Every structure is written in C-alpha cells, then in structure tokens.
Structure 1
C-alpha cells in the first residue's frame, strides 16, 4: 500500500491523466534509447511512425512551417515545435477519452506512484547523459587557435556561452558533477526529494542560459526543469512545512509493497541494469575518450600548429577578389584549420573559413577538405616547407592558379594562458 486511499477531486484526476499521457509521448522520444540494443529497433519504428503523423498534422492542422526542419543538434526546430503540438494534442484527446471511459475511478494513487518513479528515472538518466560528458570536459571543449583568433563580435550568443564554459575546465567539471549528483540522488527513493531540489536548480540554470544566449535546447531544458518541479510537488506539503512554516514534518510515506519475492528481485535487477547502462557504461566510454581527446590525438602527418600570415598571395580568376583573398591561415592539431576569408568553398563560421586537410609528405601535397573526416577533396596543392616558419602552397583551385607563401606569426593570446590568482591588486 502506498498511501491511504481517498477520493481525488475531478480537477486532480484530469490533470493526472493529461500529465501521464503527455509524459509518455514526450519521454519515449529520448535520443538515448536509440543507442540501446533491441530497444533501438522498436525506437526507430516508433519515431518513424510518429514523424509521419506529425508531418501530416502539420500540413493540415498545425501549420508551423510548410517544410519542417528535423531535430538534429537543435531541439528548437520547426519539427520540435510541431512535435510539442502533437504531444499536447494527444494528451488532450487522450484525457478526454480516459475521463469518459474511467470517470468512476475514485483516485490513481498506484498509477501516480509509478508515474513519479518513471519520471525520477528519466530525469536521472538525462542528468547522467549530460553530466558525465561535462565531468570529462567533453561537451564544451577548450577554444582552439581559430576560435581565439575570431573577434568576439563575430560570435553568436550560443558560441560565446560555449566558449565561456569550455574555457574553464574546473567550471565545466563542476557543472557536470552537480548534474551527476542530481541523477544519483534521484535513483534512490529516500534521497529523491533532495535530488529533485538539486535537479530543479541545475536545470533552471541550464534553461536560463539557453534562453539568455539563444542556445537551441530551450524546449528540452525547460521540460527538464518542469519535470523536476513535478517531482517536488509530491513532497510539496512536507517541504512547505519544513522550509517555510517551520513546522515538524511527517516521514516519507512507505514505499510500494511488493507482494511476491520475484517482484522485489526484478526491481533490484532493473535498478542494476539502469545503473550499468546509464552510469557505468557512459563513465567508462567517456573515460576512454578522455585518454585520446580529439584535439590531442597526433595524426601521422600534420603541419606544425600555429598562425601563419599570408606574405604573398598570387592568383587569377575569382580568388583575385579582395574578399576571397586569404589574410591568414591557422593550422590546428587535428588535421584541421581555418582561413580568414569569405570564400564559401570552405565552411564559413563566424567570419573564418574552416577546412580539414591531409598532408602527404612523400609527394609533397596537401589535400584540402570541408571536414577532416570527408573523403572528397576540395582541391590539392603542392606543399613546400623551406624552413620551420614558412609554408609555400601552389596549384589550382577550381581552375584558378594559386600560389601562397605563409609565414609563421609569433602571436599568443593572453586568454589562452588561463591565469589564476587568489590575490589581484588591480582589475584585469
């Protein structure tokens, strides 16, 4: 028995029905399920069917946009808002039908208990997914040379926030630890209220950052904050008495009593599986990735990292245009780099053109690509290194001849030094 049975007022039953249906539709779409064996197949079939229904409803009912942009990296796309409308519509329709078919039921104590348990584990799961990659400082990496060379005025608000967090590894790790603490506390019923308090604080901060810096995870982060508040509502009276009214509170109501031993065994087994899938395995995977970080894995052949000024730029055709001329070139550690140019042949981000490259020292060539992982080349140039501070590139770019002489620039960025002082006599 969970609590003493009592009749619920109509408004509470209606709110419960709506919340239960909405949470079911929303939580089943968590992207982490796509990584789980067996579950990923069912997840793929369901999401494909739901996508078709959402697109049909958008065409005839929602009218968010003529063509919906799918959720990929950004959760605040037109498809994301259409999905929000779909989940709300299903919850409204489902609530109406449920209320008609089950109008005589006095309460939903047992169903409410299990709904809260499921929501606890969902918020815990998400907390660990995002917290673990922050613990290893993998979500927001430290800015590279190209990013340091980008004027702050050229950055988007989101990128500025990303650099703000990624610049300080201790701050990012602290953020991740707090998310993991919230997730760990939510797993166990005795500490779930404290976990919900921590989660509400963590996700309120995340939601406010997403809103203030226009980070496209607003819908998801606000949902997580609301979910944390729903968990707190289960103890609202006890929290009010303890924190506000300064009155003694009652102990936590007894947990659900399993009538059979196999039920208790299954409960423990499911908790162990959850901890293994969403805590142990992600921690191990992130640890392995931290041993060979993306920016520190030395390729077999790579140009010396640094900033190079363009000492000479000789070309014909379209690249003779001043806006397309190369002003400087930066080579990074991981077979990538950037150029100060507006040439859309490359990936333009925040005023710089980004590229990947492959160096062939045997044939003295360098292959430029849009990304390091791409198999297709944009163009191939002859690459000569007269000395450690000079790079000469010659060849053709889209039928235009090109010769570039690069000279290393001994430039350092004070921000890259990461100073820390307990005592500062002047404002930096």
Structure 2
C-alpha cells in the first residue's frame, strides 16, 4: 500500500496553485491560440493597471518582447493569482498536491525538453547563427545593434555554437528520462542562465521566453531541494526520490508509457533532426555559390552619373553609391541611403541576377525589379553599368578592391604571443 504523502504548508499549497495555473497558461502547447481571445482583457488591464504603453503592439517583427507580450505576462500573473484564490476557497481541506505536482512536472519536463531540443539541434547544425557575410564584414562595427553583433560573434564561432547546441540537446534527452530528470534540470539551469544573460546583455528580444525557461528549470530543480541540500551541503546520504517517478504495476501501463515516449521521440525529436539536416544540406549546396560572370567582392564606385549629371563622392550625399558588395548566392549591398532597397545597419541590401549571356544585370529588392543594367566586364577588376533605376538613368563605374578581412579567416592560434 502506497504511503500517504506528508501534508504541505499553507504557503506551499497556495504557491503551488499559483504556479500550476501560471505555468499551464504560459507553457501549454496551445498558448498561441488563446492570445487573441485574451487580447481585449490584456488591453483593458493595460489601460487601467499596467500602463505599459497607450497602445499595445502585437506585431513586433519577430520580437518576443513587445509591449503586448509584457502585458500578456502580467495578465497571466493576475489570472494565476485570481484563479489560485478561487481554488483555495473551493479546496481548503486539501493537505497536499503531490499527485497533481507529479503531472505538472511531467508536462513541464516535456515542454522544456521540446523547446531545448528545438533550439539545440539548429545550433548543432550551425543553422541558428550564420557566419558573417561579406556585406556584414563591410559594415562599420558601430552601426550594428547589440543583437546583430551578438548573432555574428556566435555565428563566427561555429564550434561554440555547436557546443551550446549539444548542451541544449543533452538537456532535452536527460529530461525525458525519469532517472536523469534532475540532472537534466540542473544542466538546464546552467544552459538557460547563459542564454538569459546573453539576451539581457545584448538586448536580444527573447528576454521573456528565455527568463521563463530559466524559471521553469529552477522550478524542476526546486522539487529536489531537500535531497540536493542534504547531499551537497550537509554531506548526508539521500534516498531515491519519487518526485519524477510513479511506479506502474500493470503491464499495459508500462507499455503505454514506453509507446508514448517512443512516439514523442519519433514525431518531435525525429522531425526536428530531419528538418535541421535538410536545412543544413540546402545551405551547404548553396554555400559560396558564384553567379557568373560577376566575381564576389567589394567594389568601389569610381564614377556615378545620374540623369547625365556626375555626382561627386561626398559623405554629405547619402544617395550616391559609395561602394557595392556583390556577395555569394546572388546577394549584395551598397553603402547608400536608398529606401527603395532594404535598409539595414546603414546599408542598402539587394538581390542580383545576371542573365545567361553575362551582359545584363537585374537588381531586385522586396521581390521586385528595382534596376536593370547592361554590363561591361571587358577590363580586369572593373565593371561598367549602364541602365535605369526607376525613372533615373544611371552610369556607374565600379572598381574591384583587393579588400581582405582578417576576421573572415576564422583565425585560431594555439600559441599567441603578439596581436595587432
């Protein structure tokens, strides 16, 4: 006969109710479906209580730290406290929630494992952060925002990215096994503490999600606080813990648990590995693809004639092209302030495509043709473009520079005695 679990303190029961509601609101797989139904409540609470901004922004362009996201987190907190209050009134005589806590930890373990594996496997294949492109190397360091700067330094250090990805994958694998769940949670604390510090230090807009993943990891470790304190601080022997374990007596229960775990491995872990491997293969196939006859590199704009007028090179003239980068894979950028292109960190980005004869060049932006030129490549390291951009006629002479970036060499030295 299974022994009755000891009674919890009043604070323990109330804090569990709050945590139970909050975690299920934030981490449930269908959380995104509840956002829009909750939007009126979030806006109401923001107008009368939070005052984050007069108008909440739900579309952050990929940011997870929008004003609406912060208001939503605060709303979840209010709902959790309010729900716990009602729960307390209706369930005052309950002595503990050991069984419910087991199921909560089980759900959160698999949620944390899924997120950690998703991020980790992309890093293992070095897909999340990429090596700086030629256009990025040509951009002055001071023009970058902290997030892009951090993305490039991790993308530059491929082994570091793979190392961090292996750690995140290991977290996932340890969490799904009951006997290693505590070790997985401890490793998760270290992994996500590092992620949180990166996000806050470099203003990466995943602060809310990463902080919650760290709190979730600490919550799982907290389940074993007494054993950890006894083992590491008091130097005492500890017994196996039942927190993440539930003995199953029936054979069908054991078979069901094994089947569900295998299904999770195949459907989620397997699909993530498959998608990551395919993405890695596609990137390898397109890596350093040269669009002949254009030779990738940095080109200085020697002459820029617009509508018959020669525009001299000047720092004050932001519309004149100063340099043009033809990168690999039909991507490029120029040092110019031209909003008809995609502007990023002080450079105008575009896509280019020479025709089959190598005599015509099409410049595209936002999936539309922006300019069309005839190309003259008769002289070595020189490109002469004649054509039009919108209603303007352009005559541009480009001189390829012998520009070398030491950073692009992926330098590494066992012995370092001098550095410039």
Q: TM-score, normalised by structure 1?
A: 0.89
* Residue 5 (structure 2) pairs with residue 13 (structure 1): no
Aligned match of 2:404 = 412
**Compared CA separation, residues 44 and 241, structure 1 to 2 (3 A):** closer
User: Which whole-Å CA distance do the structure 1 matches of 2:45 and 2:273 have between them?
Assistant: 40
User: Which whole-Å CA distance do the structure 2 matches of 1:269 and 1:168 have between them?
Assistant: 39
User: Which whole-Å CA distance do the structure 2 matches of 1:185 and 1:317 have between them?
Assistant: 68
Segment drifting more, 236-245 vs 311-320: 311-320
CA positional deviation for 1:370: 2.4
User: Which whole-Å CA distance do the structure 1 matches of 2:309 and 2:196 have between them?
Assistant: 45
* Residue 418 (structure 2) pairs with residue 426 (structure 1): yes
Picking from 273, 286, 299, the partner of 1:283 is 273
How many aligned residue pairs are there?
413
Aligned match of 2:24 = 24
Picking from 160, 163, 181, the partner of 2:152 is 163
User: Residue 290 of structure 2 contacts residue 296 of structure 2 at CA under 8 Å; is this kept in 1?
Assistant: no
User: Which whole-Å CA distance do the structure 1 matches of 2:309 and 2:18 have between them?
Assistant: 60
**Compared CA separation, residues 71 and 2, structure 1 to 2 (3 A):** farther
Residue 356 of structure 1 aligns to a residue in which SS? strand
Aligned match of 1:351 = 346
Q: How does 1:154-193 map to 2 (within 5 A)?
A: 154-193=143-182
User: Which whole-Å CA distance do the structure 2 matches of 1:297 and 1:289 have between them?
Assistant: 16
User: Residue 376 of structure 2 contacts residue 384 of structure 2 at CA under 8 Å; is this kept in 1?
Assistant: yes
User: Residue 76 of structure 1 contacts residue 219 of structure 1 at CA under 8 Å; is this kept in 2?
Assistant: yes
User: Which whole-Å CA distance do the structure 1 matches of 2:209 and 2:361 have between them?
Assistant: 42
Picking from 246, 266, 274, the partner of 2:256 is 266
Q: How does 1:334-349 map to 2 (within 5 A)?
A: 334-349=329-344
Segment drifting more, 166-175 vs 270-279: 270-279
**Compared CA separation, residues 67 and 369, structure 1 to 2 (3 A):** farther
User: Which whole-Å CA distance do the structure 1 matches of 2:353 and 2:45 have between them?
Assistant: 47
Segment drifting more, 139-148 vs 309-318: 309-318
CA positional deviation for 1:275: 1.3
User: Which whole-Å CA distance do the structure 2 matches of 1:53 and 1:383 have between them?
Assistant: 59
Picking from 104, 107, 110, the partner of 2:93 is 104
**Compared CA separation, residues 388 and 110, structure 1 to 2 (3 A):** farther
CA positional deviation for 1:366: 2.6
Picking from 59, 64, 70, the partner of 2:52 is 64
Q: How does 1:293-312 map to 2 (within 5 A)?
A: 293=283, 296=287, 298=289, 303-312=294-303
Aligned match of 2:324 = 329
Residue 107 of structure 1 aligns to a residue in which SS? coil
Unmatched 5+ residue regions in structure 1?
Answer: 34-41
Picking from 388, 391, 396, the partner of 2:388 is 396
Residue 119 of structure 1 aligns to a residue in which SS? helix
Aligned match of 2:128 = 139
Segment drifting more, 125-134 vs 6-15: 6-15
CA positional deviation for 1:404: 0.7
User: Which whole-Å CA distance do the structure 1 matches of 2:102 and 2:3 have between them?
Assistant: 10
CA positional deviation for 1:343: 1.7
Residue 283 of structure 2 aligns to a residue in which SS? coil
Residue 378 of structure 2 aligns to a residue in which SS? strand
**Compared CA separation, residues 324 and 187, structure 1 to 2 (3 A):** same
CA positional deviation for 1:53: 4.4
Segment drifting more, 138-147 vs 290-299: 290-299
User: Residue 123 of structure 1 contacts residue 183 of structure 1 at CA under 8 Å; is this kept in 2?
Assistant: yes
Deviation track 1:148-176 (CA, whole Å, cap 9, x = no partner) reads 11111111111111111111111110010
CA positional deviation for 1:206: 0.6
Residue 238 of structure 2 aligns to a residue in which SS? coil
CA positional deviation for 1:425: 2.2
User: Residue 55 of structure 1 contacts residue 68 of structure 1 at CA under 8 Å; is this kept in 2?
Assistant: no
User: Which whole-Å CA distance do the structure 2 matches of 1:339 and 1:309 have between them?
Assistant: 10
Deviation track 1:357-379 (CA, whole Å, cap 9, x = no partner) reads 232234843332225xx2x2223
Q: How does 1:50-61 map to 2 (within 5 A)?
A: 50-51=38-39, 53-59=41-47, 61=49
Deviation track 1:74-102 (CA, whole Å, cap 9, x = no partner) reads 11111211211221121112111111111
Segment drifting more, 135-144 vs 72-81: 72-81
